[in-house]
């Protein structure tokens, strides 16, 4: 069993197999399952992600609070105008990431990757890249295993919980996971995947979890948008040959320590950051009829 | 290592909006239900930390009650769990606690009916994963490294041997085991960590053994 990214990369390189393969084999061993069972379960997760994205970019999805919904569709429409500055794959990924989180906020069905609040980044990037490079279903499933392998290390060595480590632990982790998986899908090496993860997470360090009214909506949906774009940029940088000066495992450790020193008000308690802004408090009061602050 | 499976990371498939506050909460409720073994007449849930502050927005309340109604994380009935509980005439009460707990996402679930009651403390540790840290006043020293089962039993000779023999028959190896009781001859609890996932049929067999009151699996 790999305990950190260095071991994961070493395992994959010494056997000359992709990271996804290491993850599949470990899962078979841990659960005593066959390859068909493990891959089959991931295929079902992929289908759930696909349905959530599809729903989010075509339907008028609205959350109960009314705080979020409809932005993924707006971006798809804008994309079709051909005027976008940041490019098609980039904005498509952003739109599909938001689509997933808008469905999530509306209490729809999603697949947590690694959490529900950060569920947009991995599928958002995957389904945008699909339009560009037309991967096989197997490659798409492997994308999820590679994402999962990196998330597995973060979950065991740091945290993937916003309440424990802030948004850096959720959208930050998801962004790194997606960046690493993009690299593998685009033909990069396991080591390049680890650099992409490190570059992506470095840009997310210190990000606090400050949801308005405690809802997984504002700013969560748009943070997934930024996560998706960050993942694409980090993957491109790594594929271009750029490396992270700080090794991946040390970046994960830094994230963990930052999370530990983050005040509780900024860890999913709706007491600080954007949640505590005048508008944040006003929205909160409107949704619940009373401000959480005054309870 | 607390997380053992890739599906702890890419998963679960769930009803939104929060893996820790919705899916993890549903799982805490469901473990309580399985240990209780039947639908309760009343549910009292104390919420701590982030759970207490944000439970309404995250649907933590509907998820916990949905779990007690035996709904899985992806069961769309979770959304209407409070209404469903009301229709079933189950009393539901939430208490927002100020006390500081070790983990920010902590819930104390108390289930009750004419025949008995159960109290369980669960924490939601992220990504939909949860741990039970206390059951009926027994602190559980679970490492979280392995799948585990909880067996509530009468403190009588042979109860422990019965369970371990049965696991041996199914070639399931025990990695760690802890037995605790509050009073001699009363209710006791076995906490058993094993090396592989235990199929439901084996759990059913354990439950049918003499002196065994309740059985639940708490992780996979």
Q: Please check the confidence at residue A141 and state whether its pLDDT lies above 80.
A: yes
In a 3-state reduction of DSSP, which class is residue A161?
A: coil
A111 at the B interface (CB within 8 A)? yes
Q: Please check the confidence at residue A24 and state whether its pLDDT lies above 60.
A: yes
B77 at the A interface (CB within 8 A)? no
Residue A292 maps to a domain: no
Mean pLDDT along residues A263-277: 94
A26 at the B interface (CB within 8 A)? yes
Residues 6+ apart with CB under 8 A from A295: B96
- Closest partner residue to A215 (CB to CB) among B57, B76, B124 is B57
Secondary structure element (H or E) that encloses residue A145, with its range: helix A137-157
* Token pair listed for B142: 């679970």
pLDDT at B214: 87
What are the angstrom distances between the C-alpha of B70 and each of A47, B8, B36, B67, B210? 25, 20, 11, 5, 26
Residue A95 maps to a domain: yes
Can you give the CATH number for the domain in which A68 is found? 1.10.4100
In a 3-state reduction of DSSP, which class is residue A150?
A: helix
Q: Please check the confidence at residue A95 and state whether its pLDDT lies above 60.
A: yes
A 36-65 residues inside an 8 A Cβ radius of B: 38, 41-42, 44-45, 48, 63, 65
| pTM of the model as a whole | 0.87
Across chain A, the runs of DSSP E, i.e. the strands, are 109-111
Mean pLDDT along residues A249-273: 96
Contacts of B20 in chain A (CB under 8 A): 115, 161-163, 268
Residue A11 maps to a domain: yes
| Topology (CATH level 3) of domain B1-135 | 60s Ribosomal Protein L30; Chain: A; (3.30.1330)
B 154-173 residues inside an 8 A Cβ radius of A: none
| A115 in Cβ contact with A167 (< 8 Å) | no
Please state the ipTM of this predicted complex: 0.96
- Closest partner residue to B13 (CB to CB) among A3, A45, A63 is A45
pLDDT at B2: 81
- Closest partner residue to B79 (CB to CB) among A23, A65, A107 is A107
Residues in chain B: 220
Contacts of A177 in chain B (CB under 8 A): 9
Least confident of A38-47, A176-185, A281-290, B119-128: A281-290
Question: What residues does CATH 3.30.70.260 cover in chain B?
Answer: 145-220
Distance separating alpha carbons of residues A104 and A64, to the nearest angstrom: 11
| A179 in Cβ contact with A192 (< 8 Å) | no
Report CA Rg, chain A: 19
pLDDT at B145: 66
User: pLDDT tens across B157-174, in order?
Assistant: 999 999 999 999 999 999
Report CA Rg, chain B: 17
| B31 in Cβ contact with B149 (< 8 Å) | no
| A134 in Cβ contact with A238 (< 8 Å) | no
User: Taking each helix axis from N to C terminus, what angle separates A137-157 and A5-15, rounded to the nearest 10 degrees?
Assistant: 140
User: pLDDT tens across B38-55, in order?
Assistant: 999 999 999 999 899 888
Residue A295's pLDDT band, with cuts at 50, 70 and 90, is very low
Residue A293's pLDDT band, with cuts at 50, 70 and 90, is low
Burial (CB count within 10 angstroms: exposed 0-12, middle 13-18, buried 19+), residue B88: exposed
Q: Is B2 left (phi over 0), alpha (psi -120 to 50) or beta?
A: alpha
In a 3-state reduction of DSSP, which class is residue B122?
A: strand
Residue A46 maps to a domain: yes
- Closest partner residue to A109 (CB to CB) among B55, B57, B74 is B74
Residue A68 maps to a domain: yes
Residue A189 maps to a domain: yes
DSSP A216-275: S-TTHHHHHHHHHHHHHHHHHHHHTT---SS-HHHHHHHHHHHHHHS-GGGBSSSSSGGG
Mean pLDDT along residues A233-260: 98
The per-residue pLDDT of chain B, averaged, comes to 91
- Closest partner residue to A107 (CB to CB) among B3, B13, B59 is B59
A142 at the B interface (CB within 8 A)? no
Q: How many domains does chain A have?
A: 1
Question: What residues does CATH 3.30.1330.90 cover in chain B?
Answer: 1-135
Mean pLDDT along residues A76-87: 95
Q: What are the backbone angles phi and psi of residue A49, rounded to the nearest 5°?
A: -65, -45
Taking the alpha carbons of B100, B102, B104, B105 in that order, is the dihedral positive or negative? negative
pLDDT at A31: 84
Percent with pLDDT over 90 in chain A: 92
Mean pLDDT along residues A214-220: 94
The answer to whether the CB atoms of B104 and A271 lie below 8 A apart is no
Contacts of A41 in chain B (CB under 8 A): 7
Q: Please check the confidence at residue A232 and state whether its pLDDT lies above 80.
A: yes
Residue A115's pLDDT band, with cuts at 50, 70 and 90, is very high
* CA-based nearest residue to B21, from A171, A237, A214, A16: A214
Neighbours of A117 (CB within 10 A): 34
Q: Which domain does A26 fall in, by range?
A: 5-287
What are the angstrom distances between the C-alpha of A222 and each of A26, A53, A121, A142? 34, 15, 11, 26
The answer to whether the CB atoms of A163 and B4 lie below 8 A apart is no
The per-residue pLDDT of chain A, averaged, comes to 96
Angle at A266 between CA B102 and CA A225, to 5 degrees: 120
| A163 in Cβ contact with B127 (< 8 Å) | no
Mean pLDDT along residues A40-68: 96
| B11 in Cβ contact with A112 (< 8 Å) | yes
Q: Please check the confidence at residue B192 and state whether its pLDDT lies above 50.
A: yes
Residue A295 maps to a domain: no
* Token pair listed for A295: 């309870």
Shortest alpha-carbon distance between residue A107 and chain B (Å): 4
At the second CATH level, the architecture of B145-220 is 2-Layer Sandwich (3.30)
């Amino acid at each position: 069993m790999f305990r950190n990214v260095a071991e994961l990369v070493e395992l994959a390189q010494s056997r000359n197999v992709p990271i996804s393969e290491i993850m599949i084999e470990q899962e078979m061993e841990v659960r005593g399952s066959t390859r068909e069972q493990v891959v089959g379960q991931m295929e079902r997760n992929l289908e759930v992600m696909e349905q959530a994205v599809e729903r989010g970019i075509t339907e008028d999805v609205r959350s109960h609070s009314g705080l979020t919904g409809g932005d993924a569709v707006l971006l798809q429409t804008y994309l079709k105008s051909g005027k976008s500055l940041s490019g098609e794959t980039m904005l498509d990924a952003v739109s599909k990431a938001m689509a997933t989180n808008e469905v999530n906020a509306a209490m729809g069905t999603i697949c947590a990757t690694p959490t529900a609040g950060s569920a947009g980044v991995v599928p958002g990037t995957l389904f945008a890249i699909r339009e560009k490079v037309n991967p096989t279903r197997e490659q798409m499933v492997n994308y999820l295993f590679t994402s999962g392998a990196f998330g597995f290390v973060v979950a065991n060595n740091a945290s993937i919980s916003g309440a424990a480590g802030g948004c850096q632990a959720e959208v930050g982790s998801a962004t790194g996971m997606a960046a690493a998986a993009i690299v593998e899908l685009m033909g990069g090496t396991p080591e390049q995947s680890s650099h992409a993860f490190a570059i992506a997470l470095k840009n997310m360090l210190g990000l606090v979890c400050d949801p308005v009214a405690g809802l997984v909506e504002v700013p969560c949906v748009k943070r997934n948008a930024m996560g998706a774009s960050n993942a694409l940029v980090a993957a491109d940088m790594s594929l271009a040959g750029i490396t992270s000066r700080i090794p991946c495992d040390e970046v994960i450790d830094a994230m963990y320590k930052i999370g530990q020193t983050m005040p509780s008000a900024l860890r999913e308690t709706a007491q600080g950051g954007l949640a505590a802004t005048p508008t944040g408090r006003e929205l909160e009061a409107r949704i619940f009829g009373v401000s959480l602050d005054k309870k | 290592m607390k997380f053992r499976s890739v599906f702890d990371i890419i998963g679960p498939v769930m009803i939104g909006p929060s893996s820790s506050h919705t899916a993890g909460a549903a799982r805490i409720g469901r473990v309580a239900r399985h240990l209780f073994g039947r639908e309760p007449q009343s549910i009292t849930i104390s919420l701590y930390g982030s759970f207490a502050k944000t439970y309404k927005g995250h649907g933590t309340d509907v998820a916990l009650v949905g779990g007690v109604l035996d709904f899985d994380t992806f069961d769309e009935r979770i959304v209407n769990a409070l209404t469903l509980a009301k229709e079933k005439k189950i009393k539901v009460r939430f208490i927002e606690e100020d006390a500081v707990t070790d983990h920010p996402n902590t819930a104390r679930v108390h289930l009750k009916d004419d025949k008995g009651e159960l109290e369980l403390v669960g924490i939601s540790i992220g990504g939909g994963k949860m741990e039970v840290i206390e059951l009926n006043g027994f602190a559980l020293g679970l490492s979280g490294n392995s799948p585990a089962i909880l067996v509530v039993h009468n403190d009588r000779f042979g109860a422990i041997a019965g369970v371990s023999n049965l696991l041996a028959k199914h070639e399931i190896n025990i990695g760690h085991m802890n037995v605790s009781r509050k009073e001699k001859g009363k209710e006791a609890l076995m906490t058993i960590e094993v090396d592989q996932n235990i199929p439901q049929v084996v759990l059913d067999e354990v439950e049918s053994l003499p002196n065994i009151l309740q059985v639940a699996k708490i992780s996979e």
